[in-house]
Structure 1
């Protein structure tokens, strides 16, 4: 006999849960927004790396990904369009993990380790984004609550 799996609605009503959720959103969102700003600070170098990795339209890719990181990070931090922000970040982080941090194809051990670190960073960021996407349609404490859902 298979046990029935049920889910409970998200409840952020335990002591300090709302504040901790806000702190987690601020840390996660602000970090991603800062990473996006870095895309604009050295577009030429990042575009060169994107070209080296075989990305089409490397300069546009750097600018577009920087914009996605800034807007997505701010969306998570503030609770503005959280479903769009979390979904966009999850897709971007998964795609960039595979396309930009292909450690399995690198021969140099030090470079392989750097790429693996970038790959894993993107994976855990995608995991956090997916978790936030799962709760994106619910009311977030201390959020501006601007969104589609």
Structure 2
């Protein structure tokens, strides 16, 4: 039997807290969903970068990561399955940051700075 999925209660009760939480959720989720759409709009370039970084099946990896970002971002923005959406995004961001933006393995200082910025 599946566990019941409910919304998470806010832990603070300040004026406009609910409205500010909603705005933050929409901005955060919307940004990540747009990043996911960008994976599809620039698929060839991103697949080339994924291949350069040594990812297996680079085109599939870009499509899968785009789906996680788009669906997870939308889930956060609209509040659908918030724990599942946020959890999927957290795992994806941790893995992709370490895999795709490994600034510690780059020798060129400018490229290292760019990778560090993307990592953070």
Normalising by structure 1, what TM-score?
0.73
Is 1:73 aligned to residue 70 of structure 2?
no
Q: Distance in 1 between matches of 2:10 and 2:23?
A: 18
Structure with the greater relative contact order (CA < 8 A, sep ≥ 6): 1 or 2?
1
Larger fraction in helix? 2
- Where structure 1 has 5 or more consecutive residues not aligned to the other structure, the ranges are 1-8, 121-149
Task: Give the superposition deviation at 1:42.
Answer: 1.2
Number of the residue aligned with 2:105: 105
Number of the residue aligned with 2:30: 30
Deviations 1:67-101 (A, max 9, x none): 11000000000000111100000000000010000
CA RMSD in angstroms comes to 1.1
Q: Distance in 2 between matches of 1:11 and 1:117?
A: 32
- Where structure 2 has 5 or more consecutive residues not aligned to the other structure, the ranges are 1-8
Aligned residues: 112
After TM superposition, which residue ranges in structure 1, 4 or more long, deviate above 6 angstroms? none
Normalising by structure 2, what TM-score?
0.90
